[in-house]
Amino acid sequence: MKIILASNNKNKLREIKDMLSPYGYEVISQAEAGADIEAEETGSTFEENAEIKARAVYDICHTPVIADDSGLTVDALFGAPGIYSARYAEPGKRCLRILDEMKDIPEEKRSAKFVCVICYIGEDGKSRFFRGECSGKIGYEKRGENGFGYDPIFVYDTRTFAELPSEEKNRVSHRANALAKFEEFIKGNTD
């Protein structure tokens, strides 16, 4: 089954391909599908933003589309950066901004979670949502070479997401949790 990812983010594409290809899904980017657009994320929730991106590509291609909106929510920052995670600071400085804002926050108040909401629009044009979360805490420094975004400061168990091998991260991440729910939905509709 072919599914278009409403994104050109190479890291997301790789992660989603890695997770769905064992189940026989061919995931292609929106650029590969000929949808050369950049949907403006004007929603106030992860769900709304995921649907905006999915709908923009679906309206061009009329093929099943998957889009996600994801981000980091930090309890001590009242849920920030949340839906603004990708725009919280200029590229390369997002982790540093969080670390700076958290510098005086004690260990027991550094809780955070990654949230991912997938919007799937099928052949029927209906939107369906799948939410995944992964709880952890904000570390005190960037650690690790794997991953992207906030992975070097997000501590899951004792290691940051950037210290986990991709196979391990792909089993426990917010995106993995949302995709697992999506996979269950797809299996229920194809069996």
d(CA 72, CA 113): 6
Which residue among 59, 68, 69, 124 is the active-site one? 69
User: d(Cα 52, Cα 30) in Å, to the nearest integer?
Assistant: 14
Instruction: Return the half-sphere exposure (C-beta side, CA atoms, 13 A cut-off) of residue 14.
Output: 8
DSSP 33: T
Alpha helices, DSSP H, located in 112-152: none
Region for 73 from its dihedrals, namely left if φ exceeds 0, alpha if ψ lies in -120 to 50, beta otherwise: beta
Among 114, 180, 125, smallest CA distance to 150 is for 114
3-class secondary structure, 73 = strand
Whole-angstrom distance, CA of residue 180 vs CA of residue 177: 5
- Concerning whether 124 is annotated as a catalytic residue, the answer is no
* Region of residue 44 (left: phi > 0; alpha: psi -120 to 50; beta: else): alpha
Closest CA to 118 of 180, 34, 72, 169: 180
Residues with catalytic function = 69
